[in-house]
Structure 1
């Protein structure tokens, strides 16, 4: 950027440099630099230096060619610029500061450029919007205004912001080709739609900026709330005839014997009769009528090893495994089972993440603790000590157990983590 007042002369001579860099002028140059950078590098306005000491008053008097006697001095930048031009420095204020270093930054020009770039982003977005069938829809104006006010795009660099908002508009135009929020359904896979918009099958994955922009548009088009969790996001995608990936994530089950007579339910019963585990996908859960006998008690575990051991020993109780965390597909299955009248008993790891997960399950479904009380922990810890089993220390912030106020203090006092496998023999007894 241009720097007004910059001279083309070479470096300052040693005598001039020694004078200008004396400690008594440090505050002057710092204040002048800050003011110049705010002023677009133009020497305008007045600075006020306060609490001047004797060396500062002496240096300023020599530089300004006028006596500075008080503890406060008002210094006109234009006068300082003129004085430097006629002094041994032989150059104006901006050029002198450049010579003293570091280079000046025209912050006003940077702000103006950033403002212009942001304006171009919105101009690009509006032009793109008007070129599509969405332009006649009132919700698109609100969508664009929400993006502007929300600041999500303005926090991106201009190229990214323009690219993403353009991709979002084209994606929404693909979903609503006639500008109608309820068009004749054309089914899209989310990966397929993402590839069309971005070239990547992951362009509309959860958490991406593009997916948030498109979902906000879909929500406004259907006059519904913006989704706040994975199940509601999936449901909103489906309202626009977009099918999220519903086959790659599964929930591990064992011993489920639904009472219906469809081929899917029959297959589950046969696998249970043959002591075979079953992985269910979200796609299957959407089409499966999964009703167990009234009041059926379903055990829920955290680690797949419990399911494996139950199958190996031909246990009969129904079992669902969270596989370390309760993902969307796990919660979807438990929701279905809870709606059919099932009750739950939960067991997981005796460590702080395990307690946090147990809290989530017990509070959401009213699940009973399954060998997960303080007495159970103490017994397993003592047994591990007697058996001389290597121990793992508890780490991380403690988590209170919602079902047993004594559990967290007991775990803190003993100080060891016990994974679910430590109780495997006891769990298998309960699984009948």
Structure 2
């Protein structure tokens, strides 16, 4: 039953708040049983008065020691008419038997582990020592459904010798559908994908993957083909020197001033040996590459399309390994500077019209042309290649997309 208004008002007075807070902690730790004592120190006058009224004895000093069984009996004998646990529940929030909660959690973990071990034992993984180590490492931090799906997935990748379930090749979407019912069940960064990859790494004695390329490599090690066709990198005027039909096709598209989208799948097998010392320009926005094609420029271009995705870095890594050098241009905003830092730092690229004087000139020209300014927002990012650029951008407060420099960039491409 709820407390009547007068009793609630009395119990809820500020002078008793420390008592109830401490009592709640003690009861929750003692399986909700009224045992032990409460010692309140540094009592102020309001607390002494409230405690005196509640306990029906004078509290005059700065410290009060209260036996919890006595407090429980006192509450039952007064207008409160209920014990300490019921009183605290009425005042709210509900009490939690922490000991029981811990016991329940321990029992649940035990059930979880037992069920997971039984699931593992029913598969060929039971004969794999690494599988038991993997389960011991991960079952506590993984939901029951996810660990079950992971065991099911790994059992398809590591079947018993001589069975029909030979490993791979699997499409990742097909494998995900088979084990989870969803083609996206093993997408990157899902808990299930991370758990399965940890198992594959353990099986092959390697470290868990730390980035997209190592994730894909590990999937392929287990006979799983990740999606390598949906993500592309936009290129222009790449002229590899080899004799294959793929290289000939790239040269022909370059001759006709056509852009080319390359997938990760193509990059895994495409020879990309360019002429020694080829200088490749890298831009952030597709409009720059489009304008270069429209004006029949012949300088090789790679577009990051706003972010250096894995497919972009894979291409640039390949070109760098073949001896290409790079120049980079992007947006004059904080995300643009972040991306520029990444590309310039990774490939020792030359900043391409990306210095403080270039920004100041473009900002001034934009203003004189009457173009509405685009506010620069977000936290400041320092340009690793030019210590003055960040300060100047912050001072002017104007963001400039790459298209603001389009005429200048096309002039540069005509001269290279």
TM-score under structure 1 length normalisation? 0.88
Asked if 1:210 corresponds to 2:201, the answer is no
> Which position in structure 1 is the counterpart of 2:213?
231
SS across alignment from 1:298? strand
Counterpart Cα distance in 2 of 1:380 and 1:27: 64
Question: What do the CA deviations read for 1:91-137 (whole angstroms, capped 9, x no partner)?
Answer: 32223333444433323322322232222222222221121111121
Counterpart Cα distance in 1 of 2:400 and 2:50: 72
Tell whether the 8 Å contact from 1:135 to 1:179 is kept in structure 2 after alignment: no
> Which position in structure 2 is the counterpart of 1:84?
75
Asked if 1:367 corresponds to 2:349, the answer is yes
Assess, with a 3 A threshold, how the Cα gap between structure 1 residues 98 and 378 changes in structure 2: closer, same or farther: closer
> Which position in structure 2 is the counterpart of 1:401?
383
2:400 maps to which of 393, 418, 426 = 418
Tell whether the 8 Å contact from 1:134 to 1:179 is kept in structure 2 after alignment: no
Question: What do the CA deviations read for 1:350-408 (whole angstroms, capped 9, x no partner)?
Answer: 11211111111111111111122222222222222332222212222222222222322
Tell whether the 8 Å contact from 1:346 to 1:358 is kept in structure 2 after alignment: yes
SS across alignment from 2:189? coil
Assess, with a 3 A threshold, how the Cα gap between structure 1 residues 179 and 430 changes in structure 2: closer, same or farther: farther
> Which position in structure 1 is the counterpart of 2:273?
291
1:19-418 equivalences under 5 Å are 20=11, 24-53=15-44, 56-57=47-48, 59-61=50-52, 63-64=54-55, 66=57, 68-147=59-138, 152-153=141-142, 161-178=143-160, 185-418=167-400
How far apart are residue 55 of structure 1 and its match? 5.6
Q: Which runs of 5+ in 2 are unaligned?
A: none
TM-score under structure 2 length normalisation? 0.91
Counterpart Cα distance in 2 of 1:134 and 1:286: 32
Tell whether the 8 Å contact from 1:137 to 1:179 is kept in structure 2 after alignment: no
SS across alignment from 2:184? coil
How far apart are residue 63 of structure 1 and its match? 4.4
Assess, with a 3 A threshold, how the Cα gap between structure 1 residues 419 and 75 changes in structure 2: closer, same or farther: same
Q: CA RMSD in A?
A: 2.4
Question: What do the CA deviations read for 1:321-373 (whole angstroms, capped 9, x no partner)?
Answer: 00011100000001111111111111111112111111111111111111222
How far apart are residue 19 of structure 1 and its match? 5.8
Tell whether the 8 Å contact from 2:158 to 2:167 is kept in structure 1 after alignment: no
How far apart are residue 240 of structure 1 and its match? 0.5
Assess, with a 3 A threshold, how the Cα gap between structure 1 residues 59 and 327 changes in structure 2: closer, same or farther: closer
> Which position in structure 2 is the counterpart of 1:7?
none
Counterpart Cα distance in 2 of 1:18 and 1:389: 66
Residue-pair matches, total: 412
Moved more, 326-335 or 54-63: 54-63
Counterpart Cα distance in 1 of 2:100 and 2:351: 64
How far apart are residue 14 of structure 1 and its match? 6.9
Assess, with a 3 A threshold, how the Cα gap between structure 1 residues 303 and 50 changes in structure 2: closer, same or farther: same
